[in-house]
Structure 1
Amino acid sequence: MRPGRPGLARGTAPLPIHRELTLEPVVDARGLGRDFVRTTGPLLRRRRERVNAVHDVTFSVAPGEIVGYLGPNGAGKSTTMKMLTGVLTPTRGRLRVCGLEPARHRTRLAARVGVVFGQRTALWWDLPLRDSLALTRHLYRVDAATHSARLAELVDLLDLGPFLGTPVRQLSLGQRMRGDLAAALLHDPGLLVLDEPTIGLDVVSRSAIREFLLRRNAERGTTILLTTHDLGDVERLCRRVVVIDHGRLVFDGGLDGLRATAPTPRVLVVDLAAPADPVEVAGARTVRVEGPRQWLELSANPAEVIAALSRSHAVADLTLREPDIEDVVARLYARGRGAEAPAPGGTAD
Structure 2
Amino acid sequence: MTSTHSHEAIHPLIGAWALDACTPEEAELVQAHLSSCAVCSEEARTLRETAAELGGGHLRPPAGLGIRLRSAAHLRRRPAPRAPGYAKPYAAQVAALDLMLSGLPTGDWQRIAAYEQMSVHDLLAHLIATDGLVAAALGVAVRPPVEPGTDAETRTVAIVAREKERPVDETRRSWRDQAEELCLALPRRPNGATVTLGFPMVVPDALLARAFETWIHTEDIAGATGSAATTPLPEHLHPMADLAARLLPKVTARRMPDAAGRHVRLHLTGAGGGTWTVPVVSGHTAGEPDAEITADVVEFCRLVGARRDPDAFPAELGGDTALARAWLAAAPSLAPYP
Shorter-chain TM-score: what band?
Answer: under 0.3
TM-score (norm 1): 0.24
* Bigger RCO (CA 8 Å, 6+ sep): 1
Looking at secondary structure, tell me which structure has more helix per residue: 2
Larger radius of gyration: 1
